[in-house]
Amino acid sequence: MTRVLLDTSAYVAFLRGHPDVVAAVRCCDEIHVTPVVLGELLAGFRRGAHRRKNEEELRLFLSSSRVRVSVIDRQTADRYASIVEHLWRRGRPIPTNDVWIAATAMQHGLRVLTTDKHFCDVEEVIVDYFESR
């Protein structure tokens, strides 16, 4: 069973038809997103010119039987702290929201699908990195 966590950048790449991301998403049995990803997307939609269209596409995506919204809880927070500490010791910080995404993937044993290379610095998770096009 293929289970992944879709980062915000991968969701956008999927919608824009990035062939590698589309192929990766299509073969997944379960696709997870976090409240952090949803927040980033909704904030972006509110700043954009196509808010209603984007919100409807997201609603349809989330209604798929393969899509789950992962919970962020105390266990996620413990993993967040572990990742931050590890990155800090290596001098390789990444954006806070992306640490929460990585912590959720770590907690649930999910691969992170992303077009953000800095996820590759998080040794605690498996990352499928796709170059932006």
Domains and CATH numbers, the chain: 3-129 (3.40.50.1010)
Return the bridge partners of 112, or none.
Answer: 5, 127
Which two tokens mark 120?
């590759």
Tell me the C-alpha distance between 91 and 81, whole Å. 15
Model pLDDT, residue 20: 95
**Nearby residues of 23 by Cβ (< 8 Å), 6 or more positions away:** none
* 59-113 per-position pLDDT tens digit: 999 999 999 999 999 999 999 999 999 999 999 999 999 999 999 999 999 999 9
CB-count exposure of residue 4 (10 Å: 0-12, 13-18, 19+): buried
Return the pLDDT at 54: 97
Kindly report, residue by residue over 8-33, the tens digit of the pLDDT. 999 999 999 999 999 999 999 999 99
